[in-house]
Every structure is written in structure tokens, then in C-alpha cells.
Amino acid sequence: MTSNRKFIILLIFIIAVVSSFWLVSRYPALDIKAALSGSEAFEDPLTHQAHFHAPRKADFITRVVYTTLNWYETNWRGMAFGLVLAAGFYTLLKTIPRQSSDRRFRNSFMGMFVGTPLGVCVNCVAPIAKGMYEAGSKMETALAVMFSSPTLNIVVLTMLFSIFPFYMAVMKLVATFILILIIVPLISEKRRTAPENQVCEIDPAATYDLNHESWAMAFKSASRDYWKSLCYIFTRTVPLMLLAGVFGALASHLWSFDKLVGAPVNLASLSLLSFMGTLMPLPIAFDLMLAQAMMMSGLSPAFVTTLVFTFGTFSIYSAMIIARTFSVFLAVKLFFIVFAIGIGSFLFHTFATRWASLADVIPNTIFIFAYFAFALRRFIGLSPLWTGLGTAAFFAASLLAEPVFAPLAGSSAAYLPGLFAMLGIGLYLILCRKPV
């Protein structure tokens, strides 16, 4: 390990970048947003604080321009960190042997483990996911990093459970785990997509005898390769970021979420809300602040539940990066998956009719226990007899656990045993190094 001095230099650089960003910028900013939630009026549709104020009675184009500039100003720190870290991962992963693994569920779990502490929004983490994938990481790992960074950060989770009803927070958490740990592995392809080009491939000739590489030579080589990687990531992500800011500003001025305050809950309104919530490129934590503002303004809890999930989980910018890195089909597929889950969160938790209750109980019960049996049989390798007995025991435990969690989780208590079982099986597979 000590002979690969280039690897050590790059690793130290990445650790220094991440640490400085966390301590100096990201977590202090998140703490400020958490303190301001519910106590401050928003000065701009896409950020809580406007640095450029549009003139009073400005026309539509002028307001769009000012909102775009405010979005750029709000996101530039996170985007700069995303670009620097993406280039670092791209260069670092190129220096180590590529180990192909088809354990897609484990790869997604590891991606979630990497992405959770990053603390960058779904827009700024997209270049990081791109860099990781094109350096050799699996598709499911890169996507798990992208989805977990803006949604599972500890400060964001604290805000989530502090400012929203408990059942909404649990719904957001369970839906996010299902998206990352089940849906992402299932839709990821085993065959890698060819990179856009080979402009910044690390020269194999540079991997000559590392045992005789001096620290000065290693530093020079690492700097040269990092600069190539940074230019590569920059040219393929920053133009799309600028375009996404314009699209987001246009959408925010063409349609406002407060138009549905007092509106009746129906499928058309819900679909529009879920579509716009999935589309908007909101900064980290501002998604929760905006959803809370809508809740305080009188927006129906049914609509708020949809916004809590769709805000910050996906965006027009992340869709652009996925389309360019993987495929347009995957970008469209993920967009409509998040869109559908946003609608489903409403159906399963807030629509108090008999058919919606059945739509909750029957599909979810079948899915939870069928997947549990599948995991016991396919991943852990139990016999059909022990799989049946294990599933029956899980069913009995779920019935006993639901009354225990009901005072805290309400109607969401029935989902908690499934969540714990899913996390437990994933942890068991990782600890036992079982193939998935």
C-alpha cells in the first residue's frame, strides 16, 4: 500500500476536501437552515435568501433572470465541492484495480453508506455519481450515492422529524430506503455503458514500477491526472448545471405550489404536484423548508406528503446528468419512478377512503412478505421449508410489533417491521460476504 504514493496523495487530498467542506461550509449552513425553518419568509422561489433582488414590478423575463442568478449563487459552493470531489474520485478509482461485482444489492448499500455523510443536494451530487461510475464503480453504487446524499444526511433527517408529522417523516424514510436498496439494484444494468470518450483515461504507461516512484514524481503525476479529470467533469456537467438553473427558474415562475392551497384533493392536482416536485432543482434542506412553508400556508396534508418525498430526491439537473452518463431511458425511468412514488405516498398515507385503504394493505402486504421470502431463499440460501417458517415467523412478529409502534408511527407502524427486516438482511449479507 505504501508503495503506491500516488494513491496516498489522492486519498489525503479527498479527505482534506471533504473535511474542510463539512466543517467550514456544509454543516454550519445546514444548521442555519434548520434554525430558520418555519421562521423566515422566502425571498426567491428557488432559495430561502435572495442575493439579487428583482426590481419591483419587474416583467416575467427579468424575474426569471434574477431567480436564475440567485440559484447559481446558492448552489455554487456545493457544485464546486461536487466537481472537485468528482474529479478526485475519478482519478483515485483509476489508480486501483477495477473489481467487478454483480452483487447489486450490496453495491447499493455501500453506495448509500458513502453518499449519506456527503451532505450535498441532488444537483451537486450528480457530478460525483458521474465521476464514480466512469472511474469504474457500478451503476447501482453511483445512483445510491446520488439519492442518499440529499435525503439521508443526519441534519436533514433531524429537520425532517422535527418539522413534519411523524408519519410523514417515516413515509419519506421508508420510501427512500425502498428506492435506494430495492428499486435501484433491480433497474441497474450489469453491462456497463461505454464512457462518453476516453479523453482523460489514465495512461497505463504511467503505472510503471510504483516501488521506485518518488513522492515528487507521484505528486506531479497525481496533479496532472487530477487536472485532466477536473476538466473532463467540468465540461460535461457545468453547462448542464447552468441550463438546469434556467429551467428551474422558468418552472418556478410559470407555476407556483401555493396555487393548490385550498384546492380539492384529486388525481390531476396530485399528479401535477408530484411532477413539479420531482422536476425542481432545489438546494439541500430548502426542499424541507419549502414543504413546511406550504404546510403552514394551508396546503392539504395529502399534497404535503407528496412534496416531502419528491422535493430534493430528484431534479431536472440530475436527470440531465443521468441521461448523459447512462442513458436517456434510465433518466426518464427514474423520473417517473420518483413521480409514481410521490403519488403512492399520498394514496398509502392520506387518502382516507375504503379503496385507498385496500390499495395500501393488499399490495404492500404482498410485496413485503413476498420480498422477505425471496430474500431468505435467494440471498441467504435457506431451503423452501425454512424459508416458509421464517416468513411465517416474520408475519407473526409483524402482528405483535404493530401495536407497539402504533402510538408513535400511527398508520405507518405496519411498515416498520419490513424496514427493519430489509436493513437486517442487508447488514447480514455484508458481514457474511454473501453474494447477491
Three cell numbers, residue 6:
500516488
**Which residues make Cβ contacts (< 8 Å) with residue 31, sequence separation at least 6?**
155
Mind giving me the DSSP string for 109-159?
A: HHHHHHHTTT---TTTTHHHHHHHHHTT--HHHHHHHHHHHHHS-HHHHHH
- What is the distance between the alpha carbons of residues 318 and 147, in angstroms, rounded to a whole number? 10
Contact status, residue 82 vs residue 61, Cβ threshold 8 Å: no
Taking only the tens of pLDDT, the chain with its 436 residues reads 444 888 888 888 888 888 887 777 666 665 565 555 555 556 677 776 778 888 888 888 998 898 899 888 888 888 888 888 888 888 888 877 665 567 888 889 989 988 888 878 888 888 999 988 988 888 999 999 999 988 888 878 888 888 888 888 888 888 899 899 989 998 887 665 555 544 445 444 444 454 567 888 888 888 999 999 889 989 988 898 889 889 888 988 888 887 888 788 888 888 899 999 999 988 887 888 888 888 888 888 888 889 999 998 999 999 999 999 999 999 999 999 999 888 887 765 544 444 445 555 666 677 778 888 888 887 888 888 888 888 888 888 887 777 777 777 666 667 778 778 877 887 777 777 766 5
What are the two backbone dihedrals, phi and then psi, of residue 393, each rounded to the nearest 5 degrees? -65, -40
- pTM for this structure? 0.71
Mind giving me the DSSP string for 286-300?
A: HHHHHHHHHHHTT--
Contact status, residue 6 vs residue 221, Cβ threshold 8 Å: yes
> Which DSSP symbol is given to 205?
G
